[in-house]
Amino acid sequence: MRGDQEDLAGLLSGNKTSWDAFVARFSGLILAAVRRVVGTDGIDVEDIAQDVFVRLCKDDFRLLRQYDPTRAGLSTWLTIVSRSVAHDMIRRRRAPTQPIELTPEAAFAVEPNITEKIKIPDGLLSPRQRLVLTMIYERDMEVAEIAGTLHIDAQTVRSTHHKAMLKLRAHFGEKP
C-alpha cells in the first residue's frame, strides 16, 4: 500500500518513469480483467485495455486521482475500472446499426428496464436484509457463500435473515 502511494505520487506529478513502471506492473491485470468481461465476444481485448490506460491518464490523470489508497487496494480498484470500461465498450458495440428507416416504429417505444421486486414497503428492510433475502431465496445461495461474497461472517448472515423475517411477519401480520 505504501509503495502504491509513492508510485502514485510520482505518477500524478507527471513523472514519465513512474508511468512506465505503472504500465509495466498493471498491464497484465488490466488485460485479464477486461478478458474476464469480454470473454470470447470477438472484441479485441488489447484495444479495450489500451482504452483503460487512456482513461486513466486523460485530463491530467483525472480518473487516477479519484483512487484513494486508504479505502481499497490499487489492484481491486483497477479491476473495477477495467470491468466498467469493458462493459461500456460492449454496450456501445452492440448498439444497433440498422438504418432508422428500416427500424419498425415499435422499436422506438420506451420500455423500462424491469426487474422483479418483492412487494415490501420501502424502508421496512435495510438494503443488506433485502440483499440477503434475495441471495437466499432467489439465488439459492448457501449461507457460507453469501458470507464470503459480502465479507461478513455466516452468523451475521443468519441473524440478518432472522431480523428481516421478523420485520416481514410483523408488517404482514404473521405470527412468528
Partner 1 sequence: MNDDAPFQPDRTLYERLRSHESVPAKSPLDLDPMLLAAYLEGRLGEAEAAPIEAILAADPAALDDLIAYDPVTPEIPSAAFITKAQALVGGATILPFAPRPAPPRRLVTAWAAWGAVAASLVLISLVGFSLGMQTERNFNGSTGIGTSIDILDQSSGLGDGIG
- Report whether 57 contacts 12 (CB < 8 A): no
Q: How far apart are CA 70 and CA 42, in angstroms?
A: 37
The answer to the question of residue 114 lying near partner 1 (CB under 8 A) is: yes
Among 5, 6, 14, 39, binds partner 1 (CB under 8 A): 14
Taking the complex as a whole, the smallest distance from the CB of residue 90 to partner 1 amounts, in Å, to 11
Q: Is 125 exposed, middle or buried (0-12, 13-18, 19+ CB in 10 A)?
A: buried
The answer to the question of residue 62 lying near partner 1 (CB under 8 A) is: no
The answer to the question of residue 90 lying near partner 1 (CB under 8 A) is: no
Q: Is 48 exposed, middle or buried (0-12, 13-18, 19+ CB in 10 A)?
A: buried
Binding characters for partner 1, 70-89, by CB under 8 A (x = yes): -xxx-xxx-xxx-xx--xx-
The residue (of 107 and 144) whose beta carbon lies closer to partner 1 is 144
Among 4, 90, 128, 167, binds partner 1 (CB under 8 A): 128
